[in-house]
Amino acid sequence: MRVLLFVLLLWQKANFKEVSGEWEVWIPGAVTYLAKDDAVYRQYTPGAAMNRLQVRADGSYQWGEVKGKLKTVNPWYAQEGVTYYRVEDKSKNTYDFWYKKETDQLIFLFGEVGGHAATGSRWGSTKTETPSKTSPVRKETKSNAKAKFQAGQTVEILWSGSWYKGKILEVKDGKYKVHYEGWGSSWDEWVEEERLR
């Protein structure tokens, strides 16, 4: 019995490790249609940010002001081979999510009900590099010094599976500070080249 419990705990830890890190969670935008007289208008409502979710390898999490422990759940809508985790927000609403390995995203569903609620994209890198006597300090190289995009250039930015118009504000150490068109400066962020086109 003890061996089974130990194996189960190791299995859960491995799964928590897969979702550990900081995640930017967004409610997706929506397209709606409005009929007025004999015309139909298409209207896009932008998505909204939820709190940042921080998950540790031991399964503990912080979502905004709420701290807790991830629970693995088997909801009625569960797909075979997918592990679902449950978190709770400040209002005691529950959300189930699963990890989509292909895009490195969390897919949030309304807890116990199902239905897409939000998408979580990794916030920065999960690896932290700190210079030490045993690890060399990263030096500027020619490939790092030559940026593919330049400050002031208009680009499209990949965020949460969709492309958004924006502009490069700054280039530093192979990363790009971007501004999203139509969004306030609080949404400016540093991104890798792979998220730009």
Report if residue 128 sits inside a domain: no
Based on the fold, state whether residues 17 and 72 are members of the same structural domain. Answer: yes
CB atoms within 10 A of CB 174: 16
Based on the fold, state whether residues 8 and 89 are members of the same structural domain. Answer: yes
What is the CATH classification number for the domain harbouring 180? 2.30.30.140
The DSSP letter of residue 75 is -
Q: Is the pLDDT of residue 27 over 50?
A: yes
Q: pLDDT per residue over 76-135, tens digit each?
A: 988 999 999 999 988 888 999 999 988 889 999 998 788 888 888 888 643 333 333 333
| Token representation of residue 170 | 């700054």
pLDDT band per the 50, 70, 90 thresholds, residue 155: very high
Based on the fold, state whether residues 14 and 68 are members of the same structural domain. Answer: yes
Report if residue 70 sits inside a domain: yes
The range of the structural domain enclosing residue 188 comes to: 142-195
How many domains, the chain?
2
Based on the fold, state whether residues 13 and 109 are members of the same structural domain. Answer: yes
| Token representation of residue 119 | 């998408």
pLDDT at 84: 93
Is 65 in a helix, a strand, or coil? coil
Report if residue 132 sits inside a domain: no
Report if residue 134 sits inside a domain: no
> Distance between CA atoms of 124 and 42, rounded to whole angstroms?
34
